[in-house]
Structure 1
Amino acid sequence: MSRRYWIGVASRDHVLRGLAGGFAQLCHGKAAPLRRMAAGDGLIYYSPVLSLEGREPCQRFTAIGQAMDDRVYPFRVSADFEPYRRNIAFWPAEDAEIRPLLGQLTFIADPARWGYAFRFGHLEIGRADFLLIARAMRATLPPSMLREPD
């Protein structure tokens, strides 16, 4: 089976929590988006805002990594919130603005309405788009991600 590439959408503050803990959590803790991914798949986070509670725009790609295994598991955050998570090996990278890439990303159908692509919180992208964003982020990818998957 070939490797797939994904974008997850989350506020930058939530992405930073995942980076610190080595996990991804998508779509307000739903399991289904995480189950679409497989071990070895690439994941990039896009952050439309800095914090979930705020409105200050971020509009940057904020993390990049790879699914470590096929485990999707519940994690109790509070008495009334138990989101699903997936283990991710995040790589060193810098935040990268989306606007300079809009005309090059193939998953953006209309650069004038680029935000539309992110509306569901999780989307599959092609390998070329993944590598383009990784370069913009100055990400340190492992050699296995640079090779064409088997």
Structure 2
Amino acid sequence: MNDLNRAWLGVVSADHTRRAVDGGFIQLNHGKRYGVARLRKGDGFAIYSPTERYGEKTPLRAFTALGVVADDAPYQAEPMSMGARGTIEPWRRRIEFLPVRRAALRDLDLELTRQANWGYQLRRGLVPLDPDDFAVLREVMSIP
């Protein structure tokens, strides 16, 4: 049984996920506003990490964080360096992250992965997630 009306899946490397969880926020697509503006307070939010570190090729393919959107609107954070991409003022959302452990994609049966070429949509960085899939992730990833 699921108590959410909407849920989302963000695609973020595991090292960046740790920063987000520690800071209680999410930032997507190099800080652009459009992704985080789609979220509403109370929406479920799951993070899928294709890799351990941003820019690496070695696959991780795991769900690494879960939470609930905790604010009403995006906010702009302090300027930060993006290396060769220059300095940005990223747009973020506050997330109440739940205490969870990683879950390997290969160990889960989700509606998300039942479609042919399902992984292609992850290139957008943010995709709608079936609330029932969020419930499955919460059950599998929760720390007792």
Pairwise TM-score range, normalised by the shorter structure: 0.7 to 0.9
Report the counterpart of residue 93 of structure 1 in structure 2.
100
For 1:81, give the aligned amino acid: I
How many angstroms does 1:52 deviate by? Answer: 0.7
Which of the numbers 62, 77, 81 marks the counterpart of 2:80?
77
Q: Do 1:64 and 1:139's aligned partners in 2 also have CA atoms closer than 8 Å?
A: no
CA distance in 2, matches of 1:115, 1:126: 15
Q: In the aligned structure 1, how far is the partner of 2:69 from the partner of 2:58? A: 29
Check conservation: 1:74, 1:83, Cα contact below 8 A.
Answer: yes
Aligned to 1:22: 24
Tell me how far apart the structure 1 counterparts of residues 71 and 134 of structure 2 sit (CA, whole Å).
Answer: 20
The structural deviation recorded for 1:19 is 0.5
Supply the distance in 1 between the matched residues of 2:14 and 2:66 (Cα, whole angstroms): 13
Deviates more, 1:77-86 or 1:44-53: 77-86
Q: For 1:1-150, what aligned pairs fall within 5 Å after superposition?
A: 3-75=5-77, 76-78=79-81, 80-101=87-108, 104-108=109-113, 109-110=115-116, 113-138=117-142
Q: Offset at 1:137?
A: 1.1
Superposed displacement of residue 138, structure 1: 2.2
Gaps of 5+ in 2: none
How many percent identity over aligned positions? 38
SS in 2 for 1:65: strand
Shift of 1:114: 4.2
TM-superposed deviation, 1:38: 0.4
Mark the runs of 5 or more structure 1 residues left unpaired by the alignment: 141-150
Confirm or deny: 8 A CA contact 1:107 1:117 kept in the other structure.
Answer: no
**Number of residue pairs aligned between Structure 1 and Structure 2:** 135
Relative to structure 2, which stretch is displaced further, 26-35 or 71-80? 71-80
CA contact (8 A) 1:8 1:45 kept: yes
Shift of residue 70, structure 1, vs aligned partner: 1.3
Which amino acid letter does the alignment assign opposite residue 36 of structure 1?
Answer: R
CA-CA distance at 1:139 after TM superposition: 5.2
